[in-house]
Structure 1
Amino acid sequence: MPTPEESLWLNNTVTVAAGQFGPTADKQENLRQITMYVQEAADRDASLIVFPEYSSYFNGRLGADYVANAEPLGGPFVTALGRLAHEHQMHIVAGLVAESEIDDKFSNTVVAVGPDGEIECTYSKVHLFDAFGHRESDWVVRGSLEGPAPAFEVDGVSVGLQTCYDLRFPELTRRIVDAGVELVAIPSQWVGGPLKEHHWNTLVQARAIENTVYVLAAGQSIPHGIGRSLIVDPMGVVLSATGAESAFLSTEISLERIAQVRANNPALQMRRLDVIVPDEGSATQSL
């Protein structure tokens, strides 16, 4: 049985939100949209809001203009996020076109800033979108898996980060869940196409179900993304979702719900690691 202190902690709810919009090459307009949604999140007492991949700059197909518009982590975009987070005492997650050490490429980075206005966590996309006729790796430096899993805490809930195409690689989500993450935030720019919306919904729910965690997937709205942002609980239940246009969504989450689901479905504890962990040297051992 949990102690009285643990019971209070488990029964606490946290309001989380997503701001779905379509970033453009107009950086000030992108920040205006973000500011609008942060204010709405504050009005609803949200502790966390997640924005799409490439929130700082997007102009359709990748090209040299992205490299030219890449910013350092201490640049204007992240500084503006820090001011908003501090003003509203909120955690903000957003996609950044970030500078890299390679002159003709940039880093597809997700940054989380906290209520003190400082960066809490960053994540650079590991699985680049070289599929469905796209070649993200032509312009983007692939992120590394070295170091601890990318995570930070929001009111007692551990939040992990990954990005868009990473959804198709369940081992990445499992890695951060094994590090204690209870909510996975996924900024995305999910490109449309045959069955792509079906893939998006299925994969988001699958990552929640198989890991018994919450998943908050924030997508870009049309014309460059399918929208369809959603927040899913540890049983795969969609708690909040939106359509293709720019929109705001929010819901309450709780550690008690995770505890209930894991009591009924202790799949994480039942894994046969002696069966599923590949032998040393196997090609499937690393991402």
Structure 2
Amino acid sequence: MRVALAQIISGRDPAANLSILEREAQKAKTGGAAMVVFPEASMRAFGNSLTDIAEPLDGPWATGVRSIAASLDLVVVAGMFTPGSASGAGAGGGKVRNTLLATGPGVEAGYDKVHLFDAFGFLESDTVDPGTEPVTFDAGGLTFGLATCYDIRFPALFTANAERGAEVNIVCASWASGPGKVDQWRLLARARALDSTTYVLACGQGDPTTQGATAKPGAPTGVGHSAVVSPLGEVLDELDGAPGMLFADLEPGVVQEARQRLPVLANRRDF
């Protein structure tokens, strides 16, 4: 199965961001991909209010993503925000959920980010409710697990996805910048591939500074470096900080061979 990772830089306007998704999905289709993965916060960039644009998975923005997927006969994975609890510290007193939508031919799934980014001085839990369950879906003869940004620091989610059949883990991110953060992103993507013996598709927001923009202080607006990692931790392809797209051909046999050589899932013990 051929997949594409679309490293974009989303902005404040959900409609404009949907147009970016449509443009990049067309590029993915032209490149032969059967799936295109977009970053976390594709609906609206961090550093902006979230509760005023949050909508359910059958709302207009998600319906727009669904329409793009249907028109191109393509699976689309993209980060959005859905309504959370009615009370909280967010704008208007409510919270949202940080949600990944996966939609396309035979695919319809939603994953709410489990591990919230309460780190490096940012408190995602002030405005976001956590999810509670792993989510997987099937496409192109493969099973995919979903994860979002800070989730990549927690191996158990990736092995849980693998135990549910995942041969590929998708990580959509808007990674916070800072000293050593790009190195951590790379290291964690490789480690999670090895933990779960899955491909890891690590798709992040591009770095706004590469386009002459100033990143909003304290907001995790992206560093780029989207990558495809093999089940044995080899980086097969990687972008730099600028917007771009990479393609990868995923083969179930590669996962099976890796699990025969490195049976960490079979050998793992719970304590």
Question: Which residue of structure 2 aligns with residue 120 of structure 1?
Answer: 108
Q: Distance in 1 between matches of 2:233 and 2:170?
A: 15
TM-score normalised per structure 1: 0.85
- Residue 3 of structure 1 corresponds to none
CA distance in 2, matches of 1:240, 1:39: 21
Letter in 2 for 1:53: E
Letter matched to residue 253 of structure 1: L
In the TM superposition, what are the counterparts of 1:183-262 in structure 2 within 5 Å? 183-223=168-208, 224-262=221-259
Q: Does the alignment pair 1:137 with 2:137? A: no
Asked whether the equivalents of residues 17 and 46 of structure 1 are also in contact (C-alpha less than 8 Å), the reply is yes
Contact 2:224 2:241 (C-alpha < 8 Å) held by counterparts: yes
Q: Which runs of 5+ in 1 are unaligned?
A: 1-13, 279-287
* Larger Rg over CA atoms: 1
- Partners of 1:140 and 1:34 in 2: how far apart? 24
Q: Write the letter of the residue equivalent to 1:43.
A: T
What is residue 178 of structure 1 aligned with on the other side? 163
Q: Which residue of structure 2 aligns with residue 11 of structure 1?
A: none
The CA distance in 1 between the partners of 2:148 and 2:105, in whole Å, is 23
Instruction: Give the partner amino acid of 2:44.
Output: Y
Q: Is the contact between residue 88 and residue 115 of structure 1 (CA under 8 Å) also seen in structure 2?
A: no
- Look up the SS of the partner of 2:248 in the other structure: strand
Aligned ranges 1:83-122 → 2 under 5 Å: 83-103=67-87, 104-115=94-105, 120-122=108-110
Cα contact 1:25–1:57 (8 A) shared by 2 = yes
Secondary structure of residue in 2 paired with 1:184: strand
SS in 2 for 1:98: strand
The match for 1:76 is 60
Q: Which runs of 5+ in 2 are unaligned?
A: 88-93, 209-220
Instruction: Work out the percentage of aligned pairs sharing the same amino acid.
Output: 36
Match for residue 53 of structure 1 among 26, 34, 40: 40
SS in 2 for 1:268: helix
- SS at 2:160 equivalent: helix
- CA distance in structure 1 between the aligned counterparts of 2:263 and 2:113, rounded to whole angstroms: 30
Are 2:16 and 1:19 equivalent residues in the alignment? no
Whether the aligned pair in 2 keeps the contact of 1:17 and 1:50 (CA below 8 Å) is yes
Pairwise CA RMSD: 1.3
Query: What are the Cα deviations for residues 164-188 of structure 1, in whole angstroms up to 9, with x where unaligned?
Result: 0001111111111111100001110
**Alpha carbons 2:159, 2:265 under 8 Å: kept:** no
* Residue type at the aligned position of 1:24: G
The answer to which of 31-40 and 97-106 deviates more is 97-106
Q: Secondary structure at the match of 1:126?
A: coil
Aligned to 2:261: 264
The question of whether the paired residues in 2 share the 8 Å contact of 1:190 and 1:220 is answered with yes
User: In structure 2, how many angstroms separate the alpha carbons of the residues matched to 1:212 and 1:176?
Assistant: 11
* Aligned equivalent of 2:214: none
Give the alignment of 1:147-162 within 5 angstroms.
149-162=134-147
User: What residue identity is the alignment partner of 1:38?
Assistant: A
Distance 1:38 1:120 in 2: 17
* Structure 1 residues 98-151: Cα deviation after superposition (integer angstroms, max 9, x where no partner): 1123241111111100226xx611111111000001000000011113xxx311
